[in-house]
Amino acid sequence: MEARYTGQADVELSASGAYQAKLLGTRLTKETLDAIVSSDLRRTRATAQAIAHYHGLPVWEDADLREFALGAWEEVSFAEVKARDGARQEHRCATACYMHSNAGRKHIQKELCCG
């Protein structure tokens, strides 16, 4: 599967993502959770529901939890964006991807944001 920017595009959780969500749900079975909150996007709701399944909790949705909107980049592969808009992508990778990350996660964040 080719990595794509999703932003606020309301795409389904991929098969790999659904598997990972199920694993996360089983991993969290022994944790005490008071609430499960998700954005209103299908992929985030599916992840939250995979966790909620093991806790008997409802999933509360909040549209304010959506990712950043990425405009014309949404649902476009990292490679396609680089080919048509390389300078802007490079700037985003150097700034926005690291905005909320700590030093130990910068490498991971760059891969997630920029391919």
**CA end-to-end span of the chain, whole Å?**
12
Q: Look up residue 51 and give its amino acid.
A: I
Summarised one tens digit per residue, pLDDT across range 1-59 is: 677 777 777 888 889 889 999 999 999 999 999 999 999 999 999 999 999 999 999 99
Task: For residue 40, give the DSSP letter.
Answer: S
How far apart are the C-alpha atoms of 90 and 82, rounded to whole Å? 8
Summarised one tens digit per residue, pLDDT across range 68-115 is: 777 887 787 888 888 988 888 887 777 665 544 444 444 444 555 665
